[in-house]
Amino acid sequence: MYSSRWTLILLLLVSIPAGLSQGNTEQQQTVPAGQQGQNPGEDGKYVPPIKVTFVMETGEDLLQMIDQLPGESLEDNRWTQLYEEELGIQIHYDWIARGDVYNQKLGVSLAAGRFPDVVKVNPYQLRQLSNAGLIEDLTEVYQTQASPLTKKILEAEGRGAFDAATIDGRLMAIPESSSAIETAQYLWIRSDWLEKMDLLPPETMEDVLQISKAFTEGDPDGNGEQDTYGLAMTSYLWDPVMGVSGFMAGYGAHPNIWIKDKEGNLAYGGIQPEVRKALKVLQTLYLEGQLDPEFAYKNGSKEYRLIQDGKIGMLYGEQWTPFMLQTTRDTDPNAEWQAYPLVAESGRGILVPLRSNTGQYFAVKKGFAHPEVVVKLMNLHLDKNWGEQAEYETYYNDDSRAVWMLSPVTPFPGMKNMDAYRDIRDARKRGDFSSLENEALAIHKRIVAYESEGLKSGWGWKQTYGSLGAFSIADAYDRNGQLLYDEYTGGITETMVDRQLILRDLQLEAYMNIILGSPIEEFDQFVNDWYKLGGEEITSEVNAWFRVNVARNHPASAS
């Protein structure tokens, strides 16, 4: 079914990297006027200031926040002013665009070889730019310019993120590394509906299915109509909120990570037989009307309207989910959501899959006179938020406003959220919160304001960091050894450059077709096509990396 279509697309895609290498190389070698040989002073500040160009992706959240910050704009704000005042770096944006438009414009500019001085790219784009010779080698820049705090934070989970950015032995970009535990999934349930329908929280996947059926057929909103759905899903099955990875984990299926097979080799989770069973169950939910019949055509914001309207009872999502769910309480003040741990089918233990959470890298245009600026910006960003003299509530989270997004670089300690939860938890046990500072203190104050004054925005903080919040579950995942790390952290292999995006689209289409009613045997055809269209070569490359790197840089591999 797929072979002819996907083979044709594959042949078309293979030509893209070659075209990229024919970009305007001469333009990339040009040093901006007035910046040739200009070095920072002893205090690290450029005098006179230098201009550094970026591009920016915006979204509804960022634009709404700007409206709440009088005197600040995307181009001129507390972060751009700080970078100029302390570093002599003037931030300029070649262009600013939203979502899909941003991705399209960036793809075109990269393919043409015309992009800003510093550009945030994904692993595929990084490999293509490096192969084309369009970006600077940042090996020495990182070694000599990164502060001890920056190195500590970016390398906190080992060298995996740096290995992925290292091509032919040279560091070609600075990873905006994060923590894999941030990708842990939880089951969020309308707990007021559970109580109303006299249901207990789920302990197995069989319980989850029973709750879904009750939420669909039992009129939990009390309007006398069967117009509610048990589980929310979106057209992109791997969305961090309203995706299906948490659901599939309940059947031992881990479709987006590399796992160890019985022989100790690495195998792609998306082609394993456990996925087949999980898809069959999702198909049953869809055919029985327990899923929004139009979910396959809705992105997260469109599907969320059903949640906001009180028509959804459960969803899988990451720790920040309650900040999205917050507005449901404006529509229905009685709406109450609670995080629960993932559960497995009877007889199976649960493992919570964690993706490698470094997907963005900062590359510097070949020929730019000051490739060190990207590290200098990161140094200051981290120091202002987590250094000894941090101003967290000015530069990171200002009265629940995520002002960190105003910066063109946004690194952060991967474990900061878990650390904040544990600090608050320990202070709660002692009954003494005087030792809390920075992020933990700011979060604690918002939870207290919610509990004592009814501060609306505090609800989300409590659902995330409270004694029964998402991070209390993540803490238990960790203690119980239930976290399943992606076994492959080696970055993009040569075959992945040309084939991986094709294979991911192939996987998503096959899964979606099955959920919507296609015969389950279509999964077997997908597995065959996956191998034929590059999966076999990728598996070989991944295992070649694994044999060399199995002993380092991965918490799961050492066990």
Tens digit of pLDDT for each residue in 147-174?
999 999 998 887 778 888 999 899 999 9
Residue 156: per-residue pLDDT:
85
Ranking 108-112, 472-476, 487-491 by mean pLDDT, the lowest is 487-491
Tell me the pLDDT band of 23, cut-offs 50, 70 and 90.
very low
CA angle 473, 476, 479 (to 5 degrees): 155
CA distance 458 to 447: 5
22 has a pLDDT exceeding 50: no
Q: Tell me: pLDDT of 241 over 90.
A: yes
Q: What are phi and psi of 521, to 5 degrees?
A: -65, -15
Rounded-to-integer distance, Cα 182 and Cα 353, Å? 11
**From CA 329, how far away is CA 334, in angstroms rounded?**
7
Q: How many CB atoms lie within 10 A of CB 161?
A: 26
* pLDDT at 34 exceeding the cut of 80: no
Q: What are the tokens at 541?
A: 């490359």
Condensed to tens digits (0 to 9), the pLDDT of residues 171-195 reads 999 998 778 898 999 999 999 999 9
